[in-house]
């Protein structure tokens, strides 16, 4: 190795990762030099290496990694604060909500270490239980290892622990697939082979022969069959099934719902679920601080109108103000369809690719109800500490399936599935003294509602509130104000195409090397120097930061190639 | 004649539809050799193949073009849509002009070729060899564009040959003298309106006439009324096959497999491989298949559809090509014709290249019959880069008067 190269490697090592191993990507000095921050020779000002469109959590993660690799990063956010779908929201001035994501898992230790998130205040909240609400007050308390409640069969109680252990092991098996770019099946790179080898090893030797057989049996089937095999209690099955379908246009009987659940369990491998309760401890806050501290610039109220392309290469963006900003690479945290069809435009892509983009499946089915309360809601049969948990209205899998069914015909569920948290129980500062904020995910509320949302939005919100009233009789009298975000609102206000949580359905045909679609599945796109880093990319939605992290790895890997 | 005549839309009653000119062909047909073209019944030979061939090359031949696939493309993004569709730079195409285009799938493999007519601002007609509605609609995603099939709503005639200009003038179509190759003009023939383009598939002087189906017979009769002064022959597709090979034109689906109909990997062809590299412009901005073609262009050529003159006069249509007598097979003939005017055996052959280069020696192994006995012979092949037949009178403006 020549001394020049050795120098570069040294510079790279000190500039790039503080802990190179944590990113398990070999550091190619010569390649990285291609993207490293450089001064413009004419003006002497720092030129932008990467523009990231959108300061959602994945955009911020990607920014954090790129800036630590020595790139000069500018992140453009159309809203006045960071976070996108996980940005906090406020109603009636004094009632603060954690945003679309009210319950989350901790992000991976690698992410926390690489981006020094703890140093910037990140702290996962304390572990919560899931409470399966029962109309008669016979609620189930479902924890990480045990479940309890009136009328629960002993057999279910015993099965629960082994069942959880088993599925967490499956989730662990899939880990290499989620933490790396999805392998290409054609012209496979070495890294892709490593990913697949790890996966294969995990399945065969990690699980062992018997578990492997069972894993391969369930991986593509539905959660309905699996849970019916294992349990008797409808409340328990309903509560677990919610986690397999919430956010997707799927019912418990939809094929592939075991996979969506395993995807969700990925988070649990990092630690127990907690309620996001705002403030400095919330992930987006720490990510913002972390990126800015490392030197990234985040510009708010900067609405990108289009991505500028010359001869098949992205070279900048144009803002709604007409301002043009240039950069060596453009990374989009926006969903794939908006990125390709609106920001870039069909003329820049091949016909079949464009057609596939327009056919990405994913219309949002979950609405968000934020309720400001001037007192503490009292749920029949629930003790005070349990209010800090995640409350579920999903009394059986059939109930969920019915709620989903009707959404297929563009109607709102008559009896929707509800996932409720009361973040002010964890952080009193979210509401005036003695007051509370309640956050409810409402499924199924289809994006394309027959008759349109404008007419029916308020009625539907009241219907949900009165439904909650059946469990918490004093609730309706406490309501000060509410905000109801339909998938249409999520699209308009949070710029997620068709209001889908995950920027596209997490179905098998849109996962792994097919996410978001063939031709853009490894974060790079048909447009040179344009990358994707959002939930639309592998491994998908959720507050994981994985798409952002994988995208950054990919960008750096391709760094010198162009 | 009868203005009320329209295209027959009750096609399900018949195996094949009839074009508005059908009755006239029936009246002239002595060969009674009919064939299907795009669901229409058209003559393979009307009277005699040699007469029809020599009409194109020395006087005037009239052929029914109605079955050709025709699409009207309009809308605010029509131009942008077409520019993304085809490999050629059409930014300089203007109203009243026609250009030859090809289009590819995402992998840069040919889907079809055709002629693109700009009829007005954001108003185009695309004529193609094969049905293209699916691909045009797929390509329309993300564009404000309207694609309509007008195959059955436009009657079309090809009037081709050295005297075609004089024939049309005598038939009452004035103002053709300044019409250059690939020009379009909206003219009259007596009372009927007819759009004339100086285009064709024969490699000779020639025009294509486009009119309402109801006016079709009147147009036909106006042309055939001057038959006393000029030698005019109705022509079938067999003669067309001969002259298009002489002109060096390719026919997708026959000379190479089109991408959408290809099942086996590697059996489709790119524009470069089909010898159509001259209509690919990699610098014009993005178009479907550009990346794949860029990659291909940076690699040594793997194969080319090549024009060849094969020595001798044995029919070569299905011959295989070798690098020497009894040597290694390096290609195959895709279409061939004896050229009466050039007195030569012409062929288009799919040749495999070695290290990006054409094999230096080419031999065709020809199996042929003599009094029903199969024999085999070797014939040397000579590669041609230019069209076999490209007479000066083809492009003269104004054309010579007869």
Lowest mean pLDDT among A160-164, A185-189, A314-318: A185-189
Q: State both tokens at A95.
A: 């009632």
> pLDDT value at position A35?
44
The closest alpha carbon to A472, from A397, A363, A544, A382, belongs to A382
Task: State the pTM of this model.
Answer: 0.90
Nearest CA in chain B to A528: B291
**Does pLDDT of A60 surpass 80?**
yes
CB contact under 8 A, B286 and A348: yes
> pLDDT value at position B8?
61
Per-residue b/e over B319-329, b at no fewer than 16 CB within 10 Å? Answer: bebbbeeeeee
Q: State both tokens at A549.
A: 């992290």
Q: How many degrees, rounded to 5, is the angle at CA B321 between CA B320 and CA B324? A: 130
CB contact under 8 A, B138 and A355: yes
The closest alpha carbon to A236, from A169, A172, A168, A146, belongs to A146
> pLDDT value at position A287?
97
Lowest mean pLDDT among A45-49, A172-176, B205-209: A45-49
Lowest mean pLDDT among A18-22, A291-295, B37-41, B207-211: A18-22
Give the one of B83, B141, B286 whose C-beta lies nearest to A312's C-beta. B286
CB contact under 8 A, A346 and B84: yes
**Does pLDDT of A16 surpass 60?**
no
Average confidence (pLDDT) over A507-529: 90
Model confidence band, residue A3 (pLDDT cutoffs 50, 70, 90): very low
Measure CA of the first residue to CA of the last residue in chain A; give whole Å. Answer: 23
Give the one of B105, B135, B143 whose C-beta lies nearest to A346's C-beta. B143
Nearest CA in chain A to B144: A346
CB contact under 8 A, A352 and B80: no
CB contact under 8 A, A346 and B142: yes
Q: Which residues of A touch B285 (CB under 8 A)?
A: 311, 347
**Does pLDDT of A43 surpass 80?**
no
Per-residue b/e over A447-484, b at no fewer than 16 CB within 10 Å? Answer: bebeeebeebbeebbebbbebbeebbeebeebbbebbb
pLDDT tens digits for range A407-437: 999 999 989 999 999 999 999 999 999 999 9
Mutation for A interface: B86, B140, B141, B144, most A CBs within 10 A:
B141
* Residues forming a β-bridge with A103: A275
**Does pLDDT of A208 surpass 90?**
no
Average confidence (pLDDT) over A62-77: 96
Mutation for A interface: B286, B289, B293, B297, most A CBs within 10 A:
B286
Average pLDDT, chain A: 89
Q: Which residues of A touch B283 (CB under 8 A)?
A: 311
Model confidence band, residue A559 (pLDDT cutoffs 50, 70, 90): confident
- Which top CATH class is A3-86+282-358+511-561? alpha beta
Give the one of B84, B105, B283 whose C-beta lies nearest to A347's C-beta. B84
Pairing mode of beta strands A329-332, A366-373: unpaired
Q: Which residues of B touch A311 (CB under 8 A)?
A: 283, 285
* Residues forming a β-bridge with A140: A132, A149
Pairing mode of beta strands A390-393, A417-421: antiparallel
The count of CB pairs under 8 A between chains A and B is 51
* Residues forming a β-bridge with B364: B321, B379
> pLDDT value at position A45?
58
Between helices A283-293 and A57-68, what is the axis angle to 10°?
Answer: 30
Give the one of A311, A312, A354 whose C-beta lies nearest to B142's C-beta. A354
Nearest CA in chain B to A525: B291
pLDDT tens digits for range A309-349: 999 999 999 999 999 999 999 999 999 999 999 999 999 99
CB contact under 8 A, B141 and A311: no
Q: Taking a C-beta distance cutoff of 8 angstroms, is the pair A505, A514 a contact?
A: no
Architecture of domain A90-109+117-125+362-497: 2-Layer Sandwich (3.30)
CB contact under 8 A, B105 and A352: yes
CB contact under 8 A, A350 and B291: yes
Closest CA–CA distance from residue B258 to any residue of chain A (Å): 16
**Does pLDDT of A28 surpass 60?**
no
> pLDDT value at position A37?
46
Q: Which residues of chain B have pLDDT under 70?
A: 1-12
Average confidence (pLDDT) over A22-31: 38
Closest CA–CA distance from residue A520 to any residue of chain B (Å): 14
> pLDDT value at position B11?
61
The DSSP annotation for B290-351 comes to HHHHHHHHTS---EEEEEEEESSSS--TT-EEESSTT--EEEEEEEEEEETTTTEEEEEEEE
The closest alpha carbon to A270, from A108, A101, A508, belongs to A108
Closest CA–CA distance from residue B288 to any residue of chain A (Å): 4
CB contact under 8 A, B291 and A346: no
Backbone angle region of A332, left / alpha / beta, with phi > 0 → left and psi within -120 to 50 → alpha? beta
**Does pLDDT of A305 surpass 80?**
yes
B84/A contact by beta carbon, under 8 A: yes
Phi, psi of A520 (to 5 degrees): -150, 30
> pLDDT value at position B312?
95
Q: State both tokens at A277.
A: 């309760």
**Does pLDDT of A12 surpass 70?**
no
From CA A164, how far away is CA A147, in angstroms rounded?
A: 11
Closest CA–CA distance from residue B255 to any residue of chain A (Å): 25
- Burial-class residue A40 by CB neighbours within 10 Å (0-12, 13-18, 19+): exposed
Task: Report helix, strand or coil for A182.
Answer: coil
CB contact under 8 A, B106 and A352: yes
Q: Output DSSP code: residue A83.
A: B
- Which top CATH class is B11-66+154-235? alpha beta
Residue B43 is inside which H or E element, if any?
Answer: strand B40-45
Give the one of B80, B106, B285 whose C-beta lies nearest to A350's C-beta. B106
Give residues with Cβ within 8 angstroms of B25, minimum separation 6.
Answer: B42, B43, B46, B64, B234
From CA B105, how far away is CA B111, in angstroms rounded?
A: 6
Q: State both tokens at B276.
A: 């159509």
Question: Per-domain residue ranges for chain A?
Answer: 3-86+282-358+511-561, 90-109+117-125+362-497, 157-268
Mutation for A interface: B76, B83, B87, B106, most A CBs within 10 A:
B106
Phi, psi of B228 (to 5 degrees): -65, -35
Helix, strand, coil tally for chain A in percent (to 5):
45, 15, 40
From CA A70, how far away is CA A44, in angstroms rounded?
A: 17
ipTM for the complex shown: 0.91
Give residues with Cβ within 8 angstroms of A402, minimum separation 6.
Answer: A413, A415
From CA B311, how far away is CA B291, in angstroms rounded?
A: 40
Residue A147 is inside which H or E element, if any?
Answer: strand A147-149
From CA A383, how far away is CA A391, in angstroms rounded?
A: 12
Q: Taking a C-beta distance cutoff of 8 angstroms, is the pair A529, A562 a contact?
A: yes
Task: Report helix, strand or coil for B208.
Answer: strand
Question: Per-domain residue ranges for chain B?
Answer: 11-66+154-235, 301-386
- Which top CATH class is B301-386? mainly beta
Model confidence band, residue A44 (pLDDT cutoffs 50, 70, 90): low
- How many helical (H) and strand (E) elements, i.e. helices and strands, does chain A have? 19, 20
The closest alpha carbon to A560, from A38, A32, A70, A11, belongs to A32
How far, CA to CA in Å, does B319 sit from each of A138, A185, B249, B322? 85, 39, 20, 10
Q: Which residues of B touch A350 (CB under 8 A)?
A: 105-106, 288-291
């Amino acid at each position: 190795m020549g001394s020049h190269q050795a120098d570069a490697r040294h510079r790279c090592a000190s500039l790039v990762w503080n802990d190179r191993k944590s990113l398990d990507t070999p550091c190619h000095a010569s390649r990285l030099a291609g993207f490293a921050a450089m001064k413009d020779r004419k003006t002497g000002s720092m030129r932008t290496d990467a523009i990231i469109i959108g300061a959602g959590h994945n955009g911020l993660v990607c920014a954090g990694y790129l800036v630590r690799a020595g790139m000069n990063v500018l992140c453009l956010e159309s809203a006045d604060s960071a976070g996108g779908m996980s940005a906090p929201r406020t109603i009636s001035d004094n009632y603060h909500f954690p945003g679309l994501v009210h319950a989350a898992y901790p992000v991976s230790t690698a992410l926390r270490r690489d981006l020094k998130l703890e140093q910037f205040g990140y702290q996962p909240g304390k572990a919560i239980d899931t409470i399966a609400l029962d109309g008669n007050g016979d609620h189930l308390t479902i924890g990480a290892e045990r479940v309890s409640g009136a009328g629960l069969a002993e057999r279910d109680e015993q099965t629960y622990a082994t069942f959880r252990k088993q599925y967490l092991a499956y989730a662990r098996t899939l880990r290499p697939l989620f933490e790396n770019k999805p392998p290409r099946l054609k012209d496979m790179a070495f890294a892709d082979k490593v990913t697949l080898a790890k996966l294969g090893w995990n399945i065969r030797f990690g699980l062992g022969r018997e578990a492997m057989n069972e894993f391969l049996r369930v991986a593509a089937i539905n959660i309905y069959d699996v849970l019916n095999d294992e349990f008797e209690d409808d409340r328990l099955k309903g509560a677990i099934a919610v986690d397999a379908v919430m956010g997707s246009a799927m019912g418990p009987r939809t094929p592939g719902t075991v996979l969506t659940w395993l995807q969700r369990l990925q988070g649990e491998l990092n630690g127990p679920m907690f309620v996001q309760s705002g403030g400095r401890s919330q992930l987006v806050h720490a990510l913002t601080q972390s990126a800015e501290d490392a030197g990234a610039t985040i510009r708010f109220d900067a609405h990108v109108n289009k991505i500028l392309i010359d001869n098949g290469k992205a070279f900048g963006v144009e803002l709604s103000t007409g301002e043009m900003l240039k950069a060596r690479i453009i990374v989009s945290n926006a969903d794939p369809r908006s990125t390709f069809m609106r920001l870039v435009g069909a003329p820049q892509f091949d016909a079949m690719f464009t057609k596939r983009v327009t056919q990405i499946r994913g219309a949002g089915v979950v609405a968000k109800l934020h309720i400001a309360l001037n007192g503490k809601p009292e749920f029949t049969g629930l003790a005070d500490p349990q209010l800090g948990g995640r409350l579920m209205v999903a009394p059986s899998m059939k109930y969920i399936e019915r709620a989903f069914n009707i959404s297929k015909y563009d109607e709102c569920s008559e009896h929707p599935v509800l996932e409720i948290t009361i973040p002010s129980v964890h952080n009193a500062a979210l509401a005036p003294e003695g007051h509370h904020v309640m956050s409810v995910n409402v499924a199924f509320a289809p994006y394309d509602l027959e008759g349109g949302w404008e007419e029916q939005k308020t009625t539907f919100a009241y219907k949900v509130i009165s439904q909650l009233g059946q469990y918490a009789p004093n609730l309706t009298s406490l309501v000060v104000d509410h905000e109801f975000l339909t998938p249409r609102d999520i699209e308009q206000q949070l710029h997620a195409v068709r209001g889908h949580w995950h920027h596209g359905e997490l179905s098998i045909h849109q996962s792994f090397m097919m996410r978001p679609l063939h031709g853009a599945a490894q974060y790079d796109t048909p447009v040179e120097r344009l990358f994707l880093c959002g939930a639309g990319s592998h491994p998908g939605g959720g507050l994981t930061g994985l798409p952002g992290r994988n995208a950054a790895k990919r960008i750096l890997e391709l760094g010198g190639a162009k | 004649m009868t203005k009320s005549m329209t295209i027959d839309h009750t096609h399900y009653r018949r195996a094949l539809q009839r074009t508005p000119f059908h009755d006239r062909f029936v009246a002239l047909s002595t060969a009674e050799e009919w064939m299907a073209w795009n669901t229409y019944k058209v003559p393979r030979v009307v009277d005699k193949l040699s007469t029809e061939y020599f009409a194109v090359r020395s006087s005037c031949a009239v052929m029914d073009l109605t079955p050709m696939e025709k699409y009207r493309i309009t809308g605010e993004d029509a131009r942008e849509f077409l520019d993304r569709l085809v490999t050629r730079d059409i930014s300089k195409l203007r109203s009243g002009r026609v250009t030859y285009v090809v289009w590819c799938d995402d992998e840069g493999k040919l889907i079809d070729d055709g002629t693109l007519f700009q009829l007005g601002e954001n108003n185009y007609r695309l004529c193609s060899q094969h049905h293209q509605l699916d691909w045009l609609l797929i390509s329309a995603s993300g564009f404000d564009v309207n694609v309509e099939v007008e195959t059955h709503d436009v009657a079309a005639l090809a009037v081709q040959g050295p005297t075609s200009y004089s024939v049309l003038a005598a038939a009452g179509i004035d103002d053709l003298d300044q019409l250059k190759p690939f020009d379009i003009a909206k003219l009259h023939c007596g009372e009927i309106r007819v759009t004339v383009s100086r285009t064709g598939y024969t490699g000779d002087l020639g025009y294509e006439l486009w009119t309402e189906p109801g006016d079709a017979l009147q147009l036909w009769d106006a042309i055939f009324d001057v038959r006393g002064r000029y030698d005019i022959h109705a022509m079938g597709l067999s003669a067309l096959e001969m002259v298009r090979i002489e002109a060096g034109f390719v026919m997708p689906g026959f000379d190479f497999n089109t991408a959408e109909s290809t099942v086996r990997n590697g059996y489709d062809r790119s524009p470069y491989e089909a010898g159509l590299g001259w209509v690919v412009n990699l610098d014009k901005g993005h178009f479907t298949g550009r990346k794949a073609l860029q990659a291909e262009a940076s690699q040594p050529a793997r194969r080319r559809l090549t024009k060849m003159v094969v020595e001798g006069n044995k029919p070569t249509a299905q011959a295989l090509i070798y690098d020497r007598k009894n040597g290694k097979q390096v290609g195959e003939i895709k279409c061939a014709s004896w050229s009466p005017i050039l007195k030569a055996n012409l062929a288009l052959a799919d040749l495999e290249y070695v290290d990006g280069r054409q094999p230096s020696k080419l031999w065709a192994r020809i199996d042929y019959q003599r009094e029903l006995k199969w024999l085999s012979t070797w014939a040397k092949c000579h590669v041609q880069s230019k069209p076999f037949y490209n007479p000066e009178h083809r492009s003269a403006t104004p054309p010579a008067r007869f």
